[in-house]
Amino acid sequence: MKKTVLITGAAGFLGSHLCDRFIKEGYHVIAMDNLITGDMRNIEHLMKLEHFEFHHHDVTKHIHIVGELDYIMHFASPASPIDYLKIPIQTLKVSSLGTHNVLGLARVKKARVLVASTSEVYGDPTVHPQTEEYWGNVNPVGPRGCYDEAKRFMEAITMAYHNTHQVETRIVRIFNTYGPRMRLNDGRVLPAFIGQALRGEDLTMFGDGSQTRSFCYVSDLVDGIYRLLLSDYVMPVNIGNPSEITIKEFGEEILKLTGAKQKLISLALPKDDPKQRRPDISKAKALLDWEPKVNRAEGLKITYEYFKSLPHDELFKTEHRDLEKLNK
Ligand SMILES: NC(=O)c1ccc[n+]([C@@H]2O[C@H](COP(=O)([O-])OP(=O)(O)OC[C@H]3O[C@@H](n4cnc5c(N)ncnc54)[C@H](O)[C@@H]3O)[C@@H](O)[C@H]2O)c1
């Protein structure tokens, strides 16, 4: 008998890579998405498979699944600042009401559930690198509060279901991840830089570009998450790549990789932009025997080839959905 996994947010960047991994591991995959920021093209190669099914559904509404479920991967949520600034209410609802529904389903089905949290729970961190024991420095009423606080609530309700109803839960805190199937226009730094390089525009960084980020290639992330799911560890685990780089240096790497002749120019810093980001991954190393394998040069090359292979007009598309209209 194949094990069955429900993946929410399956048509998104990370969700679609998880679908690939679970299919490869021999699972029956139930993919669920309301397509608010996702794209069916990310999973169209799976649609004809016998052990893949797609449910177009908003997880903030009651989730009904027929039959047994072994695992639930809760990845539904807008994830880029451009998205969650446009749809703050949807963002709050998916990690609160949506997580509540997912946990209720896990309880009924006796399924193990893994929820996708984020390094944003650390806010603009005063501890560096960030360990799982750090409680964070988040502004609840700032522009990013809708995402950061929703994810903090998600972690809290997940622990409550574990402690109260003995639901088997896992919490991953994901740091910046990149790879094929990111959207060019989602406002995250890597697709933004590559899009600008390909369009012949200058690369725009916020402030002087001295803020740092650490980028993890998607296959490494998926492997860490898969190991965490199968482990018996209940508390949050950081998964990310600790190799830290300033945004300015990163922009220079992209210019070199793409051979673009443009310059890096600076824009005003957005409010509450974190100054530093680097995961402490000691826990993942010790508990999961996991560490990232793909270095930035290799990962960037694959990602750049993916963006180059997209139809040329994709490069010039602004956001294709009128997200604000959906913010109910
Ligand atoms: N990509 C990263 O670097 C990163 C970092 C930290 C955390 N995460 C988390 O990982 C998850 C996936 O992120 P991503 O980068 O793949 O984003 P994404 O926007 O590509 O994917 C999110 C998916 O969730 C779907 N969705 C949103 N609301 C929904 C709802 N109410 N019902 C059903 N589906 C819904 C979207 O349509 C989309 O397909 C998110 O929970 C995000 O917070 C991602």
Is 328 contained in some domain?
A: no
Please say if the pLDDT value at position 320 is more than 60: no
Mutate which of 17, 75, 100, 214 for ligand 1 pocket (most atoms within 8 A of beta carbon): 75
Is 39 contained in some domain?
A: yes
Other C-beta atoms lying within 10 Å of the C-beta of residue 256: 11
Q: How far is the C-alpha of 174 from the C-alpha of 118, rounded, in Å?
A: 5
Is 190 contained in some domain?
A: yes
Is 232 contained in some domain?
A: yes
Mutate which of 8, 21, 35, 36 for ligand 1 pocket (most atoms within 8 A of beta carbon): 36
Is 326 contained in some domain?
A: no
239 CA → ligand 1 middle, Å: 16
Domain range for 100 is 4-319
Is 143 contained in some domain?
A: yes
Other C-beta atoms lying within 10 Å of the C-beta of residue 252: 15
Residue with the two structure tokens 């839960």: 169
Average pLDDT over residues 120-137: 94
Higher pLDDT, 314 or 196: 196
Choose, from 71, 122, 147, 217, the residue flagged as catalytic.
147
Please name the residue whose Cα sits nearest to atom 27 of ligand 1.
77
Is 327 contained in some domain?
A: no
Query: What CATH code is carried by the domain that includes residue 228?
Result: 3.40.50.720
How many residues belong to the chain? 328
147 catalytic? Reply is yes
Measured from CB, residues less than 6 Å from any atom of ligand 1 are 8-9, 11-15, 33-38, 58-60, 75-79, 94, 98, 116, 118, 174, 176-177
Is 61 contained in some domain?
A: yes
Please name the residue whose Cα sits nearest to atom 42 of ligand 1.
79
pTM score of the predicted model: 0.95
**Terminal CA-CA length for the chain:** 41
Please name the residue whose Cα sits nearest to atom 29 of ligand 1.
76
Total domains present in the chain = 1
User: What is the number of helices (H) and of strands (E) in the chain?
Assistant: 9, 13
Structure tokens at 141: 């009423």
- Tens of pLDDT, residue by residue over 80-110, are 988 999 999 999 999 999 999 999 999 999 9
- Tens of pLDDT, residue by residue over 217-258, are 999 999 999 999 999 999 999 999 999 999 999 999 999 999
